[in-house]
């Protein structure tokens, strides 16, 4: 376990006494190993770095009061604690680097209520798909969700995610007041339950559980829409991208998803091969059902062939086109050929074609374009991208990242295991300041926020 600390039998017994139920404190090696891992292996750089890392015990709290007691004990005993939702994160976000407790929150999964103005009040372990289902029963739906919606938890999405399906109309998790408030438990001698509302949610969002355990969430929804799914094939990538962009930026379309796949990406989507003619450049969309006929017409006029167009029936019904978009695209490609990996990019909407052309000229087919459109914080729909990359070496990958950045393409690097280098660390250091307040010893998911120095250490340094 390398630098992992070793917990004692007495400490494990003490945790059992805290939760009062031995079944909810598990040291079985296979369980601990499984619940210490996420989808870090998407990255050939992170895979060798993280495969030996794991926690020492899994604890399943049922209520906030238990978390307070667990953190109180771990603080005194200097035991690291790593929060875990469904473990679908990508960058080893939920992998404990220094052993300790894996705090599995999936048994805290209640939906307390959906308010009359469409705010879901829920536990962190509620699965996003379950929330979407319950919301739709009451006339609402999620503003945005990851393609892992069925499995992923609300708390994990806030802790490690950014956006996804729906972001084309409603932005990411950070935008437009989508996360109204959250409650966190702090890692102090006397753990506190703190409410962060409004702007203060940004102290905790996308902090990978390094500065508090999220125990309650207020998430804004939107009125539900009857959706339709469509798949459209194009002969050229330019044709597919032009059409996608046209629909994406035009406010007249009610849409939840516009995804463009350069050939041969869609050839890898084996369950929906019938919808994706071999070698074609594909566009997958979710638009309002009452706009489907107009969309089909527009697609035909643009030279596309509509290969599928039907009312969307929900997350449980195939084909579920979102299962091939966002970071699921990478999954299908890796299944086809493990040499594939990916980047997470934001293109400049005014220079996107030049930027893509430059990357193509520098890297040829080592990069394949998979574009997603999102509304940015200023309300403009812009081309984001999760391009596929054929992995040659870490140096070559870094060269590609540098080339993107030198040419104005934003990169949130998915091949690093710390917040700062990932590219979504807040420049105002809101997350760092919250960590200083809430986790002075640095015991929450240690090693993931590099700019943080534990309080005692900082004091010692001052004395020196
Ligand atoms: C195939 C695939 C597709 C994906 N598509 C998308 C996408 O479209 N958009 C997107 O944003 N992400 C995407 N992801 C990443 C991931 O699925 C989402 O971010 C998801 O919401 C994470 O939820 P989870 O419950 O699995 O979180 P976990 O992986 O369990 O945790 C994520 C992070 O949050 C922390 N955390 C978990 N619970 C809490 C809590 N209660 N309090 C504090 N911290 C906590 C963990 O410590 C960890 O650092 C994808 C991943 C895969 C493998």
Query: Tens digit of pLDDT for each residue in 51-67?
Result: 999 999 999 999 999 99
**CA 258 from centroid of its chain's CA atoms:** 18
**Domain boundary at 64, 84, 104, which?**
104
Atom of ligand 1 nearest to the CA of 214: 42
Q: Which helix (H) or strand (E) element contains residue 101?
A: strand 101-104
Say if ligand 1 is within 6 A of residue 70 CB: no
Give a yes or no: residue 60 inside a domain. Answer: yes
| 89 CA to centre of ligand 1 in angstroms | 4
Say if ligand 1 is within 6 A of residue 38 CB: yes
| pTM value > 0.75 | yes
pLDDT by 10s per residue, the chain, length 464: 345 558 999 999 999 999 998 899 999 999 999 999 999 999 999 999 999 999 999 999 999 999 999 999 999 999 999 999 999 999 999 999 999 999 999 999 999 999 999 999 999 999 999 999 999 999 999 999 999 999 999 999 999 999 999 999 999 999 999 999 999 999 999 999 999 999 999 999 999 999 999 999 999 999 999 999 999 999 999 999 999 999 999 999 999 999 999 999 999 999 999 999 999 999 999 999 999 999 999 999 999 999 999 999 999 999 999 999 999 999 999 999 999 999 999 999 999 999 999 999 999 999 999 999 999 999 999 999 999 999 999 999 999 999 999 999 999 999 999 999 887 788 788 999 999 999 999 999 999 999 999 876 666 556 65
List the CATH number of the domain containing 39.
3.30.43.10
Say if ligand 1 is within 6 A of residue 422 CB: no
Q: Computed from CA positions of residues 393, 394, 396, 397, in that sequence, does the dihedral angle turn out positive or negative? A: positive
Give a yes or no: residue 276 inside a domain. Answer: yes
Considering only CA atoms, which of 49, 51, 67 is closest in space to residue 59?
A: 67
Q: Which domain holds residue 280?
A: 227-411
Q: Tokens 């619940």 map to which residue?
A: 35
In this predicted model, what pLDDT tens digit does every residue of 420-429 receive, in sequence order?
988 778 878 8
Which mutation among 62, 83, 167 tests ligand 1's pocket best, with the greatest number of atoms within 8 A of CB? Answer: 83
Give a yes or no: residue 130 inside a domain. Answer: no
Say if ligand 1 is within 6 A of residue 268 CB: no
Give a yes or no: residue 45 inside a domain. Answer: yes
List the CATH number of the domain containing 247.
3.40.462.40
CA distance 89 to 94: 7
Shared domain check, 398 and 262: yes
**Domain boundary at 364, 389, 411, which?**
411
CA distance 31 to 34: 5
| Parallel/antiparallel/unpaired status of strands 101-104 and 81-84 | parallel
Say if ligand 1 is within 6 A of residue 96 CB: no
Say if ligand 1 is within 6 A of residue 280 CB: no
**Domain boundary at 104, 126, 157, which?**
104
CA distance 452 to 445: 12
Give a yes or no: residue 419 inside a domain. Answer: no
Say if ligand 1 is within 6 A of residue 418 CB: no
Contacts of 464 (CB under 8 A, 6+ apart): none
Give a yes or no: residue 48 inside a domain. Answer: yes
Give a yes or no: residue 199 inside a domain. Answer: no
Domain count, the chain: 2
Give a yes or no: residue 282 inside a domain. Answer: yes
């Amino acid at each position: 376990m390398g630098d992992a600390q070793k917990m004692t039998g007495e400490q494990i017994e003490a945790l059992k006494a805290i939760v009062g139920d031995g079944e909810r404190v598990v040291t079985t090696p296979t369980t601990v190993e499984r619940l210490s891992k996420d989808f870090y292996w998407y990255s050939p750089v992170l895979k060798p770095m993280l495969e030996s890392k794991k926690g020492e015990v899994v604890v399943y709290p049922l209520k906030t009061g238990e978390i307070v007691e667990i953190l109180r004990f771990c603080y005194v005993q200097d035991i690291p604690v790593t929060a875990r939702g469904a473990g679908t994160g990508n960058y080893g976000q939920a992998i404990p680097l220094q052993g300790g407790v894996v705090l599995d929150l999936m048994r805290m999964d209640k939906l307390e209520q959906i308010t009359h103005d469409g705010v879901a009040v829920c536990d962190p372990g509620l699965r996003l798909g379950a929330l979407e289902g319950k919301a739709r029963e009451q006339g609402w739906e999620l503003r945005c969700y990851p393609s892992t919606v069925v499995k992923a938890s609300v708390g994990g999405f806030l802790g490690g995610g950014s956006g996804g399906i729906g972001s084309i109309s409603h932005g990411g998790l950070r935008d437009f007041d989508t996360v109204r408030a959250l409650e966190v438990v702090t890692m102090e001698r006397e753990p506190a339950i703190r409410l962060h509302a409004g702007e203060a949610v940004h102290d905790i969002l996308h902090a990978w559980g390094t500065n508090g355990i999220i125990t309650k969430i207020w998430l804004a929804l939107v009125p539900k829409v009857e959706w339709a799914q469509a798949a459209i094939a194009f002969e050229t990538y330019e044709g597919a991208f032009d059409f996608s962009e046209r629909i994406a930026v035009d406010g007249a379309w009610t849409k939840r998803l516009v995804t463009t796949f350069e050939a041969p990406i869609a050839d890898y989507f084996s369950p929906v091969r019938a919808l994706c003619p071999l070698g074609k450049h594909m566009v997958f969309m979710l638009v309002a059902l009452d706009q489907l006929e107009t969309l089909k017409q527009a697609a035909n006029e643009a030279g596309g062939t509509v290969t599928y167009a039907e009312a969307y029936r929900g997350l449980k019904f195939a084909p579920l086109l979102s299962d091939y978009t966002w970071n699921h695209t990478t999954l299908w490609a890796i299944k086809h050929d493990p040499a594939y990996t990916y980047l997470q990019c934001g293109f400049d909407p005014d220079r996107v074609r030049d930027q893509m052309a430059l990357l193509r000229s520098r890297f040829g087919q080592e990069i394949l374009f998979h574009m997603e459109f999102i509304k940015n914080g200023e309300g403009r729909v812009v081309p984001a991208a999760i391009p596929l990359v054929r992995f040659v070496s870490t140096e070559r990958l870094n060269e590609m990242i540098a080339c993107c950045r030198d040419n104005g393409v934003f990169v949130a690097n998915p091949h690093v295991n710390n917040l700062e280098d990932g590219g979504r660390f807040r420049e105002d250091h809101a997350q760092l300041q919250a960590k200083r307040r809430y986790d002075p010893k640095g015991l929450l998911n240690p090693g993931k926020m590099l700019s943080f120095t534990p309080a005692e250490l900082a004091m010692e340094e001052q004395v020196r």
